[in-house]
Homo-oligomer: A and B are copies of this chain.
Amino acid sequence: MDFEKIYQEKKLIIENNIYSYLPSLDEKSIKVYNAMRYSLEAGGKRLRPVLLLSACEFCDGDIYQALPYACAIEMIHTYSLIHDDLPSMDNDDFRRGKPSNHKVYGEAIAILAGDGLLNTAMEIICIDISSSIKNLETTTKKVLAASEIFEASGCKGMIGGQAADIDFEKKELSEDVLNYIHIKKTSALLTACIRAGAILGNADEEVLADLTEFAKNMGLAFQITDDILDVCGNQQLMGKAVGSDAKLQKMTYPSLYGIDNSKAKVKELEKKSLLILDKYKERSDFLKNLLLYLTDRSF
């Protein structure tokens, strides 16, 4: 299979559609619109929406039905980056090789742009559910998918992870806390992408359970890879300053276990994930390749 080509096709579907979900604003509040759009346009891998569409497709679902949810989740991810970059949070001046949102628009508008993207995600989903409200089966799976997304982006997921990450800065390392932060902060939303996509694609229980297990391992492998790249990656490839975790004295896998053990942990998680999908044969080729693409980014 031509993994790169299929990935790019899905990414293009997102990029060709996501801006149409932004609210149309008039001149007086155009600044917050521009700020929201600026960060959405900064690009990135579009990993989360691609994952959502891929899981839907894996289950033989209609990816265009899943598109609003994919775009909503990219907005949620983008808002979290805008808020994470703020001076009082991680204080990052660059994101994806461009000045971060608050460096361009100021802190106040950056905070509002983040709020606006999270709120827009919910608006997109409300509108989409309304559009097919008379079909009970469709409505049920849409509401389930929405619940997966907002539970993962909330305090029991991403926000809780980020709060713990900040609270534990400069405190003593422990494996328990490190896993907690990684699972909540990154893995929860990645898992929700896969689960929401699968639910929208009418997955049966077994498939949903397998994909969930795959996603959890992948999510952790992805975050450890990010930690490693923060130590030994290259600023141009990363699009942001390397060494920012160390600067903030953040707990990471490499700081706790060393680089070699962290790489071994990634390999172990990678193997575990691939094994789960073996029984699906060629049908799982894209998801397997996607996992390898994430863990082999640049080491």
Give A61 to B13 CA distance when docked, in angstroms.
43
The answer to whether B118 and A89 touch across the interface, beta carbons within 8 angstroms, is no
| Residue in contact with A32 in the complex, picked from B129, B130, B136, B159, CB distance below 8 Å | B159
**Would you call A264 an interface residue if the criterion is a C-beta within 8 Å of the partner chain's C-beta atoms?**
no
Give A124 to B106 CA distance when docked, in angstroms.
32
**Would you call A139 an interface residue if the criterion is a C-beta within 8 Å of the partner chain's C-beta atoms?**
yes
The residues of B that contact A89 with a CB separation of less than 8 Å are: 108, 111
How many residues of A sit at the interface, in one of the four size bands?
A: 35 or more
The residues of B that contact A116 with a CB separation of less than 8 Å are: 154-155, 159-160, 163
Within 8 A of B (CB), among A228-274: none
Closest B residue to A154 by beta carbon equals B119
- B-contacting residues of A (Cβ < 8 Å)? 23, 25, 28-29, 31-33, 36, 79, 83, 86, 88-89, 106-109, 111-112, 114-116, 118-120, 122-123, 126-127, 129-130, 133-134, 136, 139-140, 143-144, 146-147, 150-151, 153-156, 159-164, 166-168, 177, 180-181, 184
